[in-house]
Amino acid sequence: MVVIIATVAAALAALLHVYIFVMESIQWTQPRVWRRFGVADQASADTVRPMAYNQGFYNLFLAIGAVIGLALLWAGDAGTTAEVAGRTLVLFSLGSMLAAALVLVTSGVKYVRPALIQGTLPLIGFVLFLFA
């Protein structure tokens, strides 16, 4: 049961990071999107667009790692190479998502809420996978 809850948390974390990818790398030119990230005007949005584009792909790659890890984990029986590799990849991906959320908090108080949004699901999944 714990593995199922951990899997759901990891999958939701991956979906969230895909959504962040879409906003940062695909929809960045829309004012409603760059305002959500605290960017004040079009000139500033244009300036940080390459960074947002890159950051979006970072989030996508973490999501892909989590999904591949989940697929491997569920493909193998306990203790098999697939299960161990899958668990390792999921833990690495979720740990990286969580670490990124912690780094976001160091950017200032206004980033606590986004860090909680970004880091809560990975934290839940990570802890549950450690003890599953």
At 86-123, the pLDDT tens digits run: 999 999 999 999 999 999 999 999 999 999 999 999 99
**Alpha carbon distance 89, 87 (integer Å):** 6
Residue 132 has pLDDT above 90, yes or no: no
Are 11 and 129 in contact, with CB atoms under 8 Å apart? Answer: no
Considering only CA atoms, give the Rg of the chain: 16
At 17-60, the pLDDT tens digits run: 999 999 999 999 999 999 999 999 999 999 999 999 999 999 99
**Alpha carbon distance 75, 102 (integer Å):** 32
- Write down the domain spans for the chain: 2-131
Residue with tokens 């829309």, as numbered in its chain = 30
Residue 76 has pLDDT above 90, yes or no: no
CA 98 to chain CA centroid, Å, is 8
Q: Is the pTM of this model over 0.85?
A: yes
